[in-house]
Chains A and B, each alone.
Chain A
Amino acid sequence: MRRALALCFFAVVALSATGVQAQEAGEENPDQETSPVQRESDPEAPQAAPVDVVIVGKRRARPLDTSTVTDLEGEGIRESTRPSTFEAIAQETPGLFVTSRGVGFHGVASGSSGGLHLRGLGGSPNTQILVVEDGVPDYQGLFGHPIPDAYSPFLIDRVRVLRGGDSVLYGTNALGGVILIDNRRRDQPGWELQNDLAYGSFNTMREQVAALARDGDWDATGAFSALRSDGHRVGAGGMNSVTHLSARWHAMPATRLTLTHKRFHGTGADPGPVTHPTPDHWYDVERSNTSLQLVMLRKGVLVRAVQYANLGTHRLYDGFLSNDRTAGAYAQAELDVEDRVRMLVGVAGDSVGGTVENRVTMAKENVHGLTNVAGYAQVTWQPVNVLELMAGGRTVLSTEYGAVPLYKAGVRAEPWHKVVLQSRVSRSFRQPTLRERYLPYPTANPDLRPEYATTWDGGVTVESGRLRVEAVAFTTRATDLIRYFGAFPTAEVVNIDTYDVWGLEGSVALAEVGPLSARLNGSWQDVGRYTKQNPSQQVGFAVAAKHGAGHGELVEEVSGAWVGGLYQNNYARDPIDDVFFVDAAIRWLRALPERGLTFEPYLLARNVFDFQYAYIEGYRMPGFNMLGGLKVTM
């Protein structure tokens, strides 16, 4: 039955494609705007530059970066067929792997998914990949990682995935990579309102509404996103809601003061493996992130000062109750010290803590918080126009571990027009989470030490017109990695000696050749003995076509992914069948400029060939399913 529906879907897509006349596609996102700091300080900066904090100075025509990065537009993330933000990002990023278990609910605790894996690091525990949203690092005080379900794509403007660690700039957790998310703001006077309502298989309902306004010295953003579903099997459903409020005061030219508050509430359950479902294993999570940011440009010096607090309450079916907190601040200045030398210096501090109790057994865990302070610096030197050199260092002073020295160095060269060579080495770290140190789920070890990873990568990028090709090789040597061994009640968590990973990453993107765009990305890596949820190969692909249709524009896309070499456990035990799925999407964009309205009905079809696959043993993914919706912008 579902296969028949999938065939019908393809048939209708094919009919709609042949019945319209192809035309050259225009700008994919003409409303895309750079941040004010970026626009005022560097009018020539490319619009895709994802991080406003480093884009300043008139001498640079492009951002200085020796890192291996993947830049993604928010529009692509929002329109992805993938049901969650992290999955959408992973599908377009070479080497980034994210587990999933259903139609958009990753959950928490046992049976949760959404673990980020990059270059052999990350995953379970999902604490080695740092997520930074609007300049604020997001990790829970007790568990040391973000909540995957708390990321709604509706406001996302840009995403940059920094492949390979960078603790010099981002501190703890930036061991295997960093995901930088920038949300949208309105820079022109006026307002806009967007609403996106969708309904689909498994009684899934998604509502996303965003309002952006700018008036005088103020701009504000408000957004609400909700997702509920029965799930594709008992216990796989849930309800997530994200509220995002932000106000920014343009105090004076080139000075911004921004207050942002984000609230997440998620309920659901661990459905358990299909052989032994556990739909009564419910969770209820509330989190609240607040930040205050000052960004100021004075006489060529870009100053950024950020304070943030991340609070959360987790309740589980078995009586578990935790309240955790992360609080921190950093201040950094970026300036040109000479004509071709640029320096960034900063100081940072953070503190994590929390309380844990079991409301059923009345047991309380003894948790001690951690506090760090750090100083860091990065220098970039451009001796000639086609060569850039970078070096940086950071020293972390911890209340538990003393001094932690970190470093990085890189080179970026453009020996031929449109050909960029890049290489970088970095030493990053992650401090043990309070969960690993104190919470016996399934075991704890208060003597754990920080883990370190030294990563080298080198690659070449060729960008010519509408074609972009990237190839990168990397190797990582990690020491003192924290790993769980065994199972309850005899499990242990310890630092292991040395772990080596090496691999290759690549991507090819073809933009707007006639009505067509396409991309292909892939990776291969040798992960050694730590094979748990750490696949050795994966490929993501997409082909999209745009046509003029009626009075609007029709967009059809076929995308998918393949993951191979996946195991449920280390030492290549419990292999999982390869993951393979194909999705399809069709959208029709109709603009009514005289009324200031655009309508965008769309239909997303996931796993159109109804393949049976799973990322986690026993947690089968949904078969063919659909989501249809309407987006209205005014």
Chain B
Amino acid sequence: MHPVTALLPLALLTLVGCGSDYPEVVVVNELDESVLVRDVSFNGCKWDVVLAFGEATSPQSCLSGDDRVHFQRLVAVEPDPSDSIAVDGEPVWFNYQTSSLKRVNDGSFSRFVLTPDDLEQDFSVPGPYGH
């Protein structure tokens, strides 16, 4: 085979390889009507949205493999003056993740639903450090 004829299909393969076949993921908030969700992330993806009950993220291409869905949640109820959790009147978002590991593969489309029975606190959030 002439080397040029060998390199041409390789060049085509390069172009094809540039196209992503990463798995696509959507996350839906079905925790509770009083619960807001934000900073949703999963295996390399991050959605900068606040999801009310029943709302979903847009599809994003994530890495293949296993991860939990990580997010911050806020229970949107009338503030209780005796509640010591509220700091300076600001709502406090807590870090949560799904209890179950989710697996996605190349080329797949996955729709993950956040439900109250698949929920635990997330202590794996990196601390504030820089530079």
Name A's B-contacting residues (CB within 8 A).
Answer: 1-2, 5, 8-9, 12-13, 15-16, 18-20, 109-110, 199-203, 232-234, 271-279, 281, 316, 318, 320, 435, 439, 441-442, 487-488, 549-550, 552, 554, 586, 588, 601, 603, 612, 620, 623-628
Q: Report the separation of the CA atoms of residues A9 and B9 in the bound assembly, to the nearest whole angstrom.
A: 9
Query: Does B10 lie within 8 Å of A628, measured CB to CB?
Result: yes
Question: Which one, B2, B43, B127, B130, contacts A109 given CB within 8 A?
Answer: B130
Which residues of B91-131 are within 8 A (CB) of A? 106-107, 124-131
Residues of B within 8 A of A586 (CB): 6-7, 10
**Given contact pairs A16-B3, A202-B18, A275-B124, A8 touches B13 in the complex (Cβ within 8 A):** yes
Query: Does B63 lie within 8 Å of A272, measured CB to CB?
Result: no
Q: Report the separation of the CA atoms of residues A442 and B131 in the bound assembly, to the nearest whole angstrom.
A: 8
- In the complex, identify which listed stretch (B27-35, B65-73, B74-82) lies at the interface while the others stay far away: B65-73
Residues of B within 8 A of A203 (CB): 18
Select from chain B the residue with minimum beta-carbon distance to A553: B3
Question: Which one, B14, B60, B68, B126, contacts A199 given CB within 8 A?
Answer: B14
Closest 8 CB pairs of A and B: A19-B1, A16-B6, A233-B44, A441-B131, A628-B14, A277-B46, A1-B21, A588-B3
Query: Does A1 lie within 8 Å of B107, measured CB to CB?
Result: yes
Q: Report the separation of the CA atoms of residues A610 and B67 in the bound assembly, to the nearest whole angstrom.
A: 18
Query: Does B127 lie within 8 Å of A487, measured CB to CB?
Result: yes
Q: List 30 A-B contacts (CB under 8 A).
A: A1-B107, A2-B106, A5-B13, A12-B6, A16-B1, A18-B1, A109-B131, A110-B130, A199-B14, A199-B18, A201-B14, A201-B18, A233-B45, A276-B125, A277-B41, A277-B46, A318-B130, A320-B131, A439-B131, A441-B130, A488-B127, A488-B129, A550-B2, A586-B10, A588-B4, A601-B11, A603-B10, A603-B11, A626-B18, A628-B10
Query: Does B17 lie within 8 Å of A200, measured CB to CB?
Result: yes
Query: Does B41 lie within 8 Å of A275, measured CB to CB?
Result: yes
Residues of A within 8 A of B13 (CB): 5, 8-9, 12, 603, 626
Question: Which one, A233, A276, A435, A627, contacts B70 given CB within 8 A?
Answer: A276
Q: Report the separation of the CA atoms of residues A628 and B8 in the bound assembly, to the nearest whole angstrom.
A: 10
Query: Does A627 lie within 8 Å of B129, measured CB to CB?
Result: no
A-B pair number, CB within 8 angstroms: 134
Query: Is B85 at the interface (CB under 8 A from chain A)?
Result: no
Select from chain B the residue with minimum beta-carbon distance to A16: B6
**Given contact pairs A110-B129, A439-B131, A200 touches B18 in the complex (Cβ within 8 A):** yes
Question: Which one, A1, A19, A20, A271, contacts B106 given CB within 8 A?
Answer: A1
Query: Is B87 at the interface (CB under 8 A from chain A)?
Result: no
**Given contact pairs A2-B21, A200-B17, A275-B124, A110 touches B131 in the complex (Cβ within 8 A):** yes
Q: Report the separation of the CA atoms of residues A15 and B3 in the bound assembly, to the nearest whole angstrom.
A: 10
Q: Report the separation of the CA atoms of residues A627 and B15 in the bound assembly, to the nearest whole angstrom.
A: 9
Residues of A within 8 A of B107 (CB): 1
Question: Which one, A13, A109, A272, A275, contacts B68 given CB within 8 A?
Answer: A275
Q: Tell me, rounded to whole Å, the shortest Cβ–Cβ distance linking A363 to chain B.
A: 13
**Given contact pairs A2-B106, A12-B10, A276-B125, A550 touches B3 in the complex (Cβ within 8 A):** yes
B62, B125, B129, most chain A CB atoms within 10 A? B129
Query: Does B6 lie within 8 Å of A272, measured CB to CB?
Result: no
Residues of A within 8 A of B70 (CB): 275-276
A-B contact sample (4 more), CB < 8 A, given A16-B6, A277-B44, A435-B131: A2-B17, A9-B10, A281-B130, A316-B131
Residues of B within 8 A of A15 (CB): 1, 6
Q: Report the separation of the CA atoms of residues A273 and B65 in the bound assembly, to the nearest whole angstrom.
A: 14
Residues of A within 8 A of B44 (CB): 233-234, 271, 274, 277, 620
Q: Tell me, rounded to whole Å, the shortest Cβ–Cβ distance linking A262 to chain B.
A: 23
Query: Does B14 lie within 8 Å of A200, measured CB to CB?
Result: yes
Question: Which one, B46, B64, B65, contacts A234 given CB within 8 A?
Answer: B46
Query: Does B3 lie within 8 Å of A274, measured CB to CB?
Result: no
Q: Report the separation of the CA atoms of residues A552 and B126 in the bound assembly, to the nearest whole angstrom.
A: 53
Residues of B within 8 A of A628 (CB): 10-11, 14
Which residues of B31-63 are within 8 A (CB) of A? 41, 43-46, 60, 62-63
**Given contact pairs A16-B3, A550-B4, A442 touches B129 in the complex (Cβ within 8 A):** yes
Query: Does A320 lie within 8 Å of B11, measured CB to CB?
Result: no
**Given contact pairs A12-B6, A275-B68, A316-B130, A201 touches B1 in the complex (Cβ within 8 A):** no
Q: Report the separation of the CA atoms of residues A2 and B17 in the bound assembly, to the nearest whole angstrom.
A: 7
Select from chain B the residue with minimum beta-carbon distance to A322: B131
Residues of B within 8 A of A273 (CB): 126
Query: Does B14 lie within 8 Å of A279, measured CB to CB?
Result: no
Q: Report the separation of the CA atoms of residues A203 and B64 in the bound assembly, to the nearest whole angstrom.
A: 19
Residues of A within 8 A of B131 (CB): 109-110, 316, 320, 435, 439, 441
Q: Tell me, rounded to whole Å, the shortest Cβ–Cβ distance linking A54 to chain B.
A: 37
